[in-house]
Each structure stands twice: as C-alpha cells, then as structure tokens.
Amino acid sequence: MRQDGCVSDPDQGFAVAPLAWVEADPDPTALLLVEELSADPEALAANFAEPLRFGTAGLRAERGVGPARMNRVTVRVAARSIGRYLRSLNLTHKGVMIGFDGRPESDIYASDSARLLTAMGITCWLIDGPCPTPVIAWHLRERQAAAAIVVTASHNPATDSGYKVFGPDGTQIRPPTDRQIEEFMTFSQLPNESDLASLEDVNQVDLGTAVSSYVDAVIPANRSSASADFHGDWVYTPLCGVGGHTLEMACSRAGVKAPIRVESQFESNGLFPGLPFPNPEEPGTMTEAHLVADAAGIDLVVANDPDADRLAVAIKTVRGWHQLSGDEVGLLLCDHQLSNTTGNNRLTASSVVSSEAAAALCALRGVEHIRTLTGFKWIMQPAAERPDAHWIFGYEEALGYSVNDEVLDKDGIAACVTFMEMVADLASRGLDPLKRLDELAFEIGLYVTHQVSAYIGTQEISSSLEVLRDSPPHELAGSPIVEVRDWLEEPSPRTTNLLELRSQNGSRVAIRPSGTEPKVKIYLEQFVPNPQHDLASVRTQCVEQLEYLGSVALSWFKRES
C-alpha cells in the first residue's frame, strides 16, 4: 500500500490493479473510493477481483469503483467490446442506437459509449434525454442499426446501474452473441479520454422526436371504438421512471382516456424517493398509487416500472386492492389479442416458467403458441426468426408483455394502452378483468400460479439440483409425479438449467437458479380442468395447496446458515 492509501500492487489476483484503474477513471472520486476500500481487503477484492459479465439482463451492478461495479471505466470497456465485436462482423457501417434511463450517471454512461464508438469509426445515434427502453428498441429496427445500447437498471434499487444490449434483429442479445462480445471485454488496457471522440461528433436525436416517432409507429390511432365510449377513470404511476409522458402521448393517440397521475411519482427521478426497490412486483411499491385511487374513488391502478418495459395492474375489490399476477395480465392480454386479430399464421409465445393458461387458450383458438426459455431475449426469438408469421403476443410472468411486432422486446407502454383498450371493450359487454378471468377459467380450466424463492449458496443450489435430477421425488403433496423434464437434456439452443415436475392432480413445479443472484427460484402452478361455479373457494384451495407445495420444494435445498 502506498502512503496515500492507494493499493497499487497488480499481483493480488485483481482483474485490474486499483492504481491503474484510478488513473483511467475520469471520476474524481475514484481515488478516494479506492483509499476507503483499502482499509478492508475483502471489500477491495469484491470490487477488483472479478469483472462484470454479461448476464441475464446484460451488465447490472451497484455503482462504484472497479471492474465489478458500474462506472465510467466499466462502461467504456463494455462499449469498446461491442465496437470490436461489430468490427469482427463488418457491421460498423450500420451504426449503434443509444439511449438511457433517468438514474444518476446514466446520461454520462450513454455519452461515453457514444463517444468511444464514434472514435472507433462507428456511427452512433444518441437520444438526448432519458426515455423508455421500448423507444430505443424501436429505433434500432427503424434505423436498421447493428446494435442498440440502453443504459438502464430497470427496477433495481437507485444505487444500481445497468447496460442492456440489443442485436441487429431487434431483440436482446442471446448466446452465443453475449459470450462473443464478452471475449472482447478485456481490462488489460483501459480506455481513457484520448480514446473518445468529442460529443459534438456524435449524432444527437431529439428526445421529443424520438418518442413521437415511436408512438406514431407503435400505437394505432383510435383503434378501439369501445375506448371512445369508455369513461372510467384509472390511476397511473411510472414509479419515478421515464414512462409517464410517453404513456400519456400514447393514450392520446389511441383514443384512450388519460389517466389520473400519481403526481409524486410522475416525473423521472433516478433516486426513487420513497421507493427503495422500485419494482411493481414488490409488496408496497404501488401503495402511493392505491392511496391516490382511494381518495378519488377509482378502482383501477396501472404502473410501469422505471424504464417502462413492464406493466403492473391492481384492481380494488370488496376485500381491498388485488394486484393481478403477471400470468393473469398475460392471459387477459392474450385473450384480447386473439379476439382482435385474424389469420392462420398468428404466433404467440411465453416462457416455460409462466402459466400454461395462455398456451391452452391459444390451442383452443387454433393459434400457434411456443414455450421458450426464460427471458424476453428468448420469448421474442420466434418473432425475429419467423417473418412469415404474424406475431401477436408474447409474455413472461415477471410483468413483461409484447403486443405487436414493432418492438421485439417487452413494451410496457404499448401493453398499457392495449390493456386499457381491453378494459373498455370488456366494459362495453358488462365485464371487468376479474369477471373475464372467471369466464376464461370455465372455458379452458382454472390455472393458479405461485412463486417462492430463497437465497442459498451457489454450490448448494447446484448440488441440490443434482440430487433432484438423480433421485426426483415420487410425489408432490401426496399426488404421484407423472413427468420429470430436465431442460439440461433438451437439444441446443433450448438447453437450460431448469427442472420441471408434474403430478397426477395437475400440479407443476419448475425450479431454476437465478441468473443474477445466489438464489433458487421455484414456480408453481395448479390446474383444475373443470372448476365448480364457486371459483373463489377453488382458487383459495389452490393457493393454499401451492403455498404448501412451495414449502416442500424449498425443503429440497440446503439453506445457508
């Protein structure tokens, strides 16, 4: 250690020597941060020993110093790796679309990426203000660019930043592309200011123009006649993210009644005040919206997550606020899309950990449905690879929905507009979303889903899954197991670390490790083929059954002490 406290020894097993990092980092606080970390060898190692890798959602981590954190050096290295990858494929002439969310440093990370790629001779288009991820994904295809970079950490805590990459087909990058880009992501020679072009040399795209172009292309004008006659109020929150103004513009174009704003959460604020984890799936995240709705006597609340690619819906019932699950919203949107499209070549998809209700509905309506691996990069693969098909819908249980083929990714803006068109259509028939779910249960059977998860050591997850594969249980809560499907044995590229169990009484359990955390995730579903008319009690019984089954499934894994 030097007298100034900065660790400079490159032979400590670090990916980059801390002093070398400080010299390349334009952040004036980098030296101070390294000096503080030097007092704690474990903390220093956590920041410098292993660099970030492209995972399920690209790069995503807490902001900080070192290659294991999100910062300007990490972002520059990532941008350089993308540039080198595009060079290897002779795609530099097609350019890169770049945008960012409203988090701290996101604009700087985006401009650094654009400046570095421009210096490499790659044309870049940088949207000059924070905007929804779907807007950037649409512009990628509109410009026929080679790639898009979206600086966003989605619904992670305010201390995190992220870096999402899309390929030339308009979808999030999949294997082997992510690994190929990662091979170029080396930290042996760190970029510095001399490796970046001036921001004046980057093509700037006006935010307002970018958003209006997206809305005009993706949102059909006054598509639903029912929307014009629907006068019900609804409350909307973008959770301090970037979706608010785009959503209002989209509603106006579609002829959907404008929502009542949650004013305290409407403007973009990357610090997310009052929202420690701005994920609409998390309990309590939509409480402020519920309060606004209660005060106005409104029984429908809708939210986008901070980068506006996800959609959450809550409905007021006699028992209080009920947040629809991603599977319930997915089934409703699927039903709506099937009812409002025609043709023999329609195509839909959902992930293997999502409910099978949408697949059953599509089968009943004679429409092709594909079960894909987890994540929207896989859900949208059929849409990208089958231009002959008419893509009408895709979803995942984690609140992601695709309702058209203009954006080949989840799109919370378009999904929200479509959902409100559906609400208007249902109202014209004397129905609401919950009543329609009941009707669908009598049509295709009742599907009830539940999830449990636990933080368990990575090695414990691996060993426990190995035991389950070698000796799977014979029953699930007393019902004999009739099928064990190991997705590690599926032919490439459908191979994934997922184990699926089915029992005689209609229970299904899908188990996989998280792609970003040392956590096991367990997805449970109960199918009742012919539910009785008292659906509420049947649902309650299914939930109780799945909660018990979830506790049983968790017992198969050794917990960290």
For the segment 271-320, what is each residue's pLDDT rounded down to a tens digit? 999 999 999 999 999 999 999 999 999 999 999 999 999 999 999 999 99
Residue pair 37/65 in contact (Cβ under 8 Å)? The answer is yes
pLDDT value at residue 506: 96
Q: Rounded distance, CA 100 to CA 106, Å?
A: 6
> pLDDT band at residue 222, thresholds of 50, 70 and 90?
confident
**Active-site annotation holder among 81, 106, 113, 154:** 154
Per-residue pLDDT at 427 exceeds 80: yes
Same-fold call for 53-212 versus 216-323? yes
Mean pLDDT of 246-263: 97
pLDDT value at residue 94: 98
> pLDDT band at residue 69, thresholds of 50, 70 and 90?
very high
Distances in Å between the Cα of 158 and the Cα atoms of 271, 277, 428 are 5, 8, 41
Segments making up each domain of the chain, as ranges? 1-50, 53-212, 216-323, 445-554
Nearest CA-CA partner of 250 in 382, 396, 402, 412: 412
Alpha helices per DSSP H over 340-481: 357-365, 376-379, 381-385, 412-428, 433-444, 458-470
pLDDT value at residue 4: 39
> pLDDT band at residue 56, thresholds of 50, 70 and 90?
low
> pLDDT band at residue 560, thresholds of 50, 70 and 90?
very low
Distances in Å between the Cα of 558 and the Cα atoms of 375, 465, 477, 554, 555 are 26, 11, 20, 8, 7
Question: Average per-residue pLDDT in the chain?
Answer: 94
> pLDDT band at residue 133, thresholds of 50, 70 and 90?
very high
pLDDT value at residue 8: 44
154 included as an active-site residue: yes
pTM: 0.95
> pLDDT band at residue 349, thresholds of 50, 70 and 90?
very high
Q: Rounded distance, CA 202 to CA 409, Å?
A: 26
Mean pLDDT of 414-431: 97
Per-residue pLDDT at 3 exceeds 70: no
**Span 445-554: which CATH code?**
3.30.310.50
Mean pLDDT of 456-482: 91
Q: What residues form DSSP beta bridges with 61?
A: 161
Mean pLDDT of 8-17: 67
Domain 53-212, CATH number (from 3.40.120.10, 3.30.565.10, 3.10.20.740, 3.30.160.150): 3.40.120.10
pLDDT value at residue 359: 99
pLDDT value at residue 57: 65
Residue pair 69/61 in contact (Cβ under 8 Å)? The answer is yes
Per-residue pLDDT at 1 exceeds 80: no
User: Is the sign of the CA dihedral 329, 330, 332, 337 positive or negative?
Assistant: positive
> pLDDT band at residue 103, thresholds of 50, 70 and 90?
very high
Nearest CA-CA partner of 506 in 481, 475, 527: 527
Per-residue pLDDT at 6 exceeds 70: no
User: Is the sign of the CA dihedral 221, 225, 226, 229 positive or negative?
Assistant: positive
Residue pair 275/282 in contact (Cβ under 8 Å)? The answer is no
Q: Rounded distance, CA 495 to CA 473, Å?
A: 22
pLDDT value at residue 14: 87
Of 455 and 422, the one with more pLDDT: 422
Mean pLDDT of 401-409: 98
> pLDDT band at residue 107, thresholds of 50, 70 and 90?
very high
258 alpha-carbon distance from chain centroid: 25
Percent of the chain at pLDDT > 70 equals: 96
Distances in Å between the Cα of 546 and the Cα atoms of 31, 522, 552 are 51, 11, 10
For the segment 155-197, what is each residue's pLDDT rounded down to a tens digit? 999 999 999 999 999 999 999 999 999 999 999 899 999 999 9
Q: Which CATH superfamily is domain 216-323 in?
A: Alpha-D-Glucose-1,6-Bisphosphate, subunit A, domain 3 (3.40.120.10)
pLDDT value at residue 558: 66
Q: Rounded distance, CA 399 to CA 336, Å?
A: 17
Ranking 107-111, 417-421, 440-444, 472-476 by mean pLDDT, the lowest is 472-476
Ranking 124-133, 303-312, 492-501, 522-531 by mean pLDDT, the lowest is 492-501
